[in-house]
Structure 1
Amino acid sequence: MGSSLWVARIHDKDENLAAILTLLFMVSTVLWFLWIWKKSNTNPTPPLPPGPRGLPLLGYLPFLGANLHLEFRDMARVYGPIFKLQLGTKLCIVVSSPELVKQVVRDQDTTFSNRDPTISALIASYGATDIAFGSYSSDWRKLRKMFVSQMLSKTNLDDCYAMRKKEVHKSIIHVYSDKSGNPTDLGQFAFSTSINTDTDHNDEEVNDSI
């Protein structure tokens, strides 16, 4: 009698285990088919454009020189009018044809309008909340509208005309009076003039370094 009950319990356990395994198999099969169906109906991610290979962590930075426009021109001849470039941890896409540039800056400008600020820019702009580093949004549009109306209005520009003229005149005199015979760094010259105009301050140290 005891052995019969033991055999019956073992038989019941086997049936329960078989039922559980069958249920798990059916659920797994259904989930697998659902995953295959979802994958087949999902738009595939478009591939990235071609580009040169770089080093781990550094990317292509060690191979870039000072004349980036010439290097990008040569890369465009090899990889086409659009190519990728890994600069450190940043993946950059370079476009070099008028048609693609028109797509980026005019036809699809909203898609490409967001910024990718650096850590220093995030700190300086309080988390990229200013007009220079902020991403495109309703708040950014309000900032731009305020900037245009308050800073770039005709009245404000006319009021600052005398100051701009004075700073440009100072910079030209500084370059003209330099008798050292050394070449003038036009980039530093433009930067110094812009800083002096924006702050209404004569940056003698910057001017002396031109």
Structure 2
Amino acid sequence: MVTRVLNSTSFSRRMAVTLILLLALISAVSVLLLTRKSLKLPPGPAPVPVLGNLHQLGPLPHRTLRDLARLHGPVMQLWLGKAPAVVLSSPEAAWEMLRVHDLDCCTRPVSPGPKRLTYDLKNVAFAPYGAYWREIRKLLVVELVSARRVKAVWCAREQQVEKLISTLGCAGAKPVALDEHILSLSDGIIGTVAFGNIYGSDKFTQNKNFQHALDEATDVLSGSSAEDFLPKAVGRFIDHITGVVAQRERIFKHLDAFFDMVIEQHLDPNRAKSENSGDDLVDVLISHWKEHRGTLKFTRNHVKAIIFDTFIAGIDTSSITIMWAMSELIRSPRVLNKVQTEIRAVVDGKDRVRPEDMSKLKYLRMVVKETLRLHPPAPLLVPRETMRHIQISGYDIPAKTRIYVNAWAIGRDQASWPEHPEEFNPERFEENEIDFKGEHLQLLPFGTGRRICPGMSMGIATVEFTLANMLCCFQWALPEGMVVEDVSMEEEGKLNFHRKTPLVLVPIILCKRRNH
């Protein structure tokens, strides 16, 4: 009898606790719904169950979202499955978020793909905002822009550009698919800066799958995971049965093994050393790890994460911009002739463009600006997430909302670029000081504020120096039978958007070969 009473009492207590929890849950949901009703949320297309608005994005979301913004406004709410998101498509709205509310939304949404590939968010690009991110970004920036690093980068840049010019010169005025050559150049520059002269060693050249793994990693970083958009348990199950998790692990293990090989080569006391040995990025990172510099508890995985960051951020963006610039130039003979005339006048009989010549090439800089306006490498900047409630253009944006900035739409905004915004016309920069360094709201290919791309200056220098020498040393023509209208400008990609088809051009050598 006593036992029955105790059990009855215990049951009653459990029931009471369950009812209290249920009422608390109902109250919380009601408060949430009432709160959301009282907010002035941005307009947007109606979501469907489970998917939200995912089905509306299509293969080129920057274009689709621009079209949707024309219907719903430059501050537009979407539901990416369960995840609330806001897309900003006007310069004013983007500037208000990136600069006015920079501190309120300068973190990143956590996604399983980037989290795994960056060793639990130990890199700069995807790390959440906080003390760790500030210190690791400071370390990377100092190493990228230090006098030693700038010198090392210029040496690597000149070597790789010389190699490119030599390779193209051997084509014998025959059609060449530029894409692989330009990608190899960017890879060579970043690889030499990060890994030093051993990047050209046999072990590196034999690892031909590294670039392929990086390409696959870019797809993973784009956030194409069901767990991002569906309830965690459901999304994780779908990612397992569809092979997303297996693919992620395969890519991670491939890159991890490669980075381990790099670190072991740098740790080898018998490693062959050149004049510049010890000046590469991996050496600096290893010294932080081994000597416990700074306040960070630096580990081997930190070294790997930052190497990964350097490659992902450095290779694709530079090569994509060079390819779009060459595509636009070959379709605009007037601009091509004008920029080549400027370059050759500055070179004045020399066989190459030298680093000291670059500051004089003002029209070339306009060409690069115009390319970035029309073809930002990441059309939708890497997403941010609000850390607290903010307002943009009078609309309420709750905490934990993903923010996407459509840099592609901003670059073609009619109000900012009233003179034929869809046309390639570098002269539009003659009458203004608009630049891409994050100080002008009309042009934000690298973002602005705390999360602006730290490698921007390095990447732009590579783009300008490569283009200058390609345009100095060769006259460029289309293959026989082609006209400018035949040059495809179709895009493809996920995080970064490049040309869909190879760009095939004929390089006709003009300059004298240098004797080595």
TM exceeding 0.5: yes
Tell me which amino acid in the other structure corresponds to 2:187.
I
Correspondence 1:133 to 2:154: no
**Counterparts of 1:187-206 in structure 2 under 5 Å?**
191-200=183-192, 201=199
2 CA distance for matches of 1:173 and 1:120? 39
Matching residue of 2:423: none
Match of 2:104 among 108, 111, 114: 111
Query: Secondary structure of the residue that 2:77 maps to in structure 1?
Result: strand
SS at match of 2:151: helix
Q: Tell me which of 84, 90, 97 is aligned to 1:97.
A: 90
SS at match of 1:148: helix
One-letter code aligned to 2:90: S
Secondary structure at the counterpart of residue 138 of structure 2: helix
Deviations 1:46-98 (A, max 9, x none): 34322223444433333333443332222111111111223344332101111
The structure-2 alpha-carbon separation of the partners of 1:182 and 1:168, relative to structure 1 and needing over 3 Å to count, comes to: closer
Q: CA deviation at 1:102?
A: 0.9
| SS state at 1:110 partner | helix
Q: How far 1:182 moved relative to its partner?
A: 7.1
Shift of 1:123: 1.1
Change (3 A) 1:182 1:83: farther
1:76 pairs with 69, 78, 90, which one? 69
Matching residue of 1:62 = 55
Q: RMSD of the alignment, in Å?
A: 3.5
Partner of 1:151: 144
Amino acid at match of 1:71: T
Structure 1 residue 165: deviation in Å? 2.2
Greater relative CO (CA pairs within 8 A, separation 6+): 2
When normalised by structure 1's length, the TM-score is 0.63
1:64–1:71 CA contact under 8 A, matched in 2: yes
Alpha carbons 1:82, 1:96 under 8 Å: kept: yes
Report the Cα distance in structure 2 between the residues aligned to 1:57 and 1:170, rounded to whole angstroms: 52
TM-score by length of structure 2 reads 0.28
Instruction: Tell me the amino acid that sits aligned with residue 199 of structure 1.
Output: G
In 2, Cα distance between equivalents of 1:145 and 1:131: 10
SS state at 1:121 partner? helix
1:103-131 deviation line (CA, Å, top 9, x unaligned): 11111111111011421211122221321
Local SS of the residue matching 2:96: helix
Distance in 2 (alpha carbons) for counterparts of 1:174 and 1:93: 46
User: Helix, strand or coil: the match of 2:133?
Assistant: helix
Q: Which residue of 2 aligns with 1:15?
A: none
Larger radius of gyration: 1
Equivalent pairs: percent with the same residue? Answer: 28
Tell me the amino acid that sits aligned with residue 73 of structure 1. R
Q: Tell me which moved more, 107-116 or 66-75.
A: 66-75
Structure 2 portions without partners, runs of 5+: 1-26, 193-198, 212-500, 503-516
Alignment length (residue pairs): 167
Amino acid at match of 1:110: L
Ranges in structure 1 where 5+ consecutive residues have no aligned partner: 1-34
In 1, Cα distance between equivalents of 2:100 and 2:152: 36
Q: Which residue of 85, 98, 106 maps to 2:78? A: 85
Change (3 A) 1:82 1:180: farther
Cα deviation code 1:9-48 (max 9, x no counterpart)? xxxxxxxxxxxxxxxxxxxxxxxxxx9xxx7xxx944343
- CA pair 69-177 structure 1, distance change in 2 beyond 3 A: farther
Say if 2:111 is the partner of 1:124: no
Q: Is 1:52 aligned with 2:80?
A: no
User: CA offsets, 1:151-170, max 9 Å, x none?
Assistant: 22233111221112222343
Change (3 A) 1:106 1:191: farther
User: 1:199 offset after TM fit, Å?
Assistant: 1.4
